[in-house]
Structure 1
């Protein structure tokens, strides 16, 4: 799967609340990705803080 992404570019990872994406971000880093960013709080936090048009549940 990692061959589908460029490890030299920024890679943002997110999930619902940010815990699974944190694990994936750590794994990507272990695979040689250096510009990996976990979206803290996930899509839920993003919806609450930045874009209220995104439904939350």
Structure 2
């Protein structure tokens, strides 16, 4: 059996926290980008805001 220290790890794309491999992510580990739903949602809102070009004029 593997120890937790031996499991693969990578940083969350939004907050930078380390994510440790989980059995639920076994098939999609290469596609996992965010550590939580909150990070995924916040990143989505940031991308949407920059795409819309929300600039305020003085």
- Normalising by structure 2, what TM-score? 0.28
Whichever of the two has the greater Rg, that structure is 2
Ranked by relative contact order (alpha carbons within 8 Å, sequence separation 6 or more), the top structure is 1
